Homo-oligomer: A and B are copies of this chain.
Amino acid sequence: MEETNEVKIGKKELMADLSELQQRVIKARLPVAIIFEGFSASGKGAAISSLILNFDPRGFEVYATRPPQLFERREPWLWRFAEKCPAKGDIAVFDRAWYSGMMQIDKKVKKPSQFITYFEDINMFERQLADDGCLIIKFFLHISRKEQKKRLKKLLAHQDTVWRVTARDLGDLKQYNENREFYKRMVEATDRPYAKWHIIDAKKRANVRRSVMETVKSELEAALEANENGRAAAVDVPQKPYINVKFNLLPAKKIQEYDLSLSLEQADYRARLAALQQELSDLHNVIYKEQVPVVIAYEGNDAAGKGGNIRRVAAALDPRGYSVHPVSAPSPVELDHHYLWRFFSSLPKTGHIAIFDRTWYGRVLVERVEQFTPPIRLSQAYNEINEFELMLKKWGAVLIKFWLTIDKEEQLRRFEDRQNTPAKQWKITDEDWRNREKWDLYADAVNDMLTYTNTDFAPWTVVESNSKYYARIKTLETIISSIRAHL
C-alpha cells in the first residue's frame, strides 16, 4: 500500500482534477460505471485503491464480483449486476464485473464459442445503460505469463498474503495462453463505441495508476461536455419506435376490435373457477419441483378488474411460493436509475411465481401519455422491453402478459359504483377521473404497445373484461395452458 500513500508531485494536479470532475459528475447527475477486468494478480485492487482516493465517498461505491451465491444463481445471470448499476450522479467501480461474472457461472467452460450468448447479453446490457446516459469505462489489465508467475510466487511466500492466492489463480497461471486467447476474443466481441475497452500494460504499477487516472479524466471530461451539449440538442427526435430487426413480431389486433360482450353465467363461473384453481394449485407444486420461474404481468384499463382477477389466481397458490408486486409511480431512487432497474428486484426466484399488478409497460403507457419520457428514450423503450423479456425467456421463465380491456361505458359504471360504495371509495381517486379524460390517448398507446411488443417469445393475451367472470376464467385458463406448454 505504501505506493499509494505518498503523492508524487507530477500527479497532484491530476488527482485534484479528478476530485473536481467527480463534483461535476454529481452536479450533472451523470451515472458512471468503471470496470476493471484482467489477469489474476494484475493489480486491479491497487489500481482501484489509488483511483478512489480522489473521490468523495458520498459519490461512489466499489463492488467486488465474487462467484454467485445460491440466491443469485436463482435469478437471470445479469440480475446481480443490474441492481448495482450506478444511479444518476454516482460512480460505480467494479472490481471484476459481468465479464468475470459470466465465467463464474460455469468455471470449466472457457471456449469463446460457448460464450457468444453471454457476449450478446453483455452488449445489450451495456447499450441499454449507455442509451440511458450512463458513461461506461472498461479497463483490462494485462501482464505476461512470467510476470504473473512472479507475482503469485511472491504472494505465496508470505504468511499474511498466502490466502489471497486462490485455486483459480493457480489454474489461471497454468492455462495462461488459453486465457489470453479468450480475453482477446472477449475484448473484440464487446468493444463498442459506447463502451470501449482500455488495455493497460500492468507490468509497472506506476504506469497502471497514471493510465487509469488519465483515462478516467479524459472520459469524464468528454462525457460531461457531451452531456451539456446533448441536452440542448435533443429536440425533434422521431417518435417512431426503434425495434431491433431480429425480433419477430406477431400480428396484433387493435384493442377496439375485441368482442366485449363475451360473458359467463355465475353458476358456470363458480364450477369452472373451483376446478381451475385446483388445477393451478397442483401445477404450483410441479413448478416448484421443476424450479421453473413464472412471471405474470397484468396491465389493463383503470377499473378493469386486475385486483379481483389477481386475487382469484393467488387463492390457488401457496403463499410461500408467490408474491404480488403492485407497481405505482417510481420513487426518487428508482427515477435515478434505468426504468427497468426496479423490476429486477421483484423478479421471482426459480420455482416461484411473481405477479405484477401493472408492470414495466408503464414506460410506454402512462409515461408516454403524460409525456414523462423524452421522445428518443420512448422510441427505444419498446426494444428495451423486448430485450428484457427475452432475457427472462433465455433464463427459462414462463412469461404471461395480460391486457384487461373494458369499454368506456363499463368503466364509468364501475367508477360510479366505487364512488357510491363507502367500502370501495379508497379504490377511486381524482387521478382515475383525469386518466379517463385521456381515454383515446391511452388507446393509441395500448395499440402501439400491442403492436411493438407482441414478440413470438412473449405474446400478449388480451382479456375481454366487461364480464368479470369471463375474464377471471380466461386468465386462469391462459396461465394453466402457458405453464403446461412449458413443462
Contacts and interface: CB of A to CB of B under 8 A. Distances in A.
A157 to B, nearest CB: 14
A61 B346 CA distance: 12
A254 B437 CA distance: 66
Q: Copies of this chain, how many?
A: 2
Interface in A151-191: 160-161, 163-164
Q: Choose among A52, A93, A426 the residue with the greatest number of B CB atoms under 10 Å from its CB.
A: A426
B45 A319 contact: yes
A325 B58 CA distance: 7
Interface stretch (A2-10, A204-212, A406-414, A441-449): A2-10
A20 interface: yes
Given A57-B310, A69-B70, A45 B285 contact: no
Given A58-B328, A70-B70, A1 B281 contact: yes
Contact of A61 (B58, B323, B328, B331): B323
The winner among A286, A289, A325 for most chain B CB atoms within 10 A is A289
A71 B64 CA distance: 14
A336 to B, nearest CB: 11
Given A161-B285, A333-B331, A278 B2 contact: yes
Contact of A426 (B23, B61, B325): B23
B5 A273 contact: yes
Nearest to A164: B285
Contact of A320 (B45, B288, B314): B45
B48 A319 contact: yes
A316 interface: yes
A152 B421 CA distance: 46
Interface in A18-34: 19-20, 23
A75 B49 CA distance: 25
A299 interface: no
A315 interface: yes
Interface in A130-159: none
Contacts of A324: 57
B163 A285 contact: yes
B160 A278 contact: no
Interface string A67-86: 00111000000000000000
Contacts of A19: 423
A62 interface: yes
A19 to B, nearest CB: 7
A5 B277 CA distance: 8
A53 B314 contact: yes
Nearest to A95: B320
In this complex, which of A2, A70, A273, A357 has the most chain B Cβ atoms within 10 angstroms of its Cβ?
A2
Given A20-B423, A95-B320, A423-B20, A274 B315 contact: no
Contact of A286 (B160, B164, B282, B332): B160
A159 to B, nearest CB: 9
Q: Which 6 A-B pairs have the closest CB atoms?
A: A57-B324, A58-B326, A1-B281, A160-B285, A64-B320, A48-B319
Given A53-B315, A58-B326, A331-B333, 15 more contacts: A1-B278, A2-B277, A2-B278, A4-B315, A5-B273, A16-B423, A49-B319, A56-B307, A57-B314, A57-B324, A58-B328, A61-B323, A161-B285, A163-B285, A331-B332
10 contacts: A1-B278, A1-B318, A4-B315, A49-B315, A53-B315, A58-B328, A61-B323, A95-B320, A160-B285, A331-B332
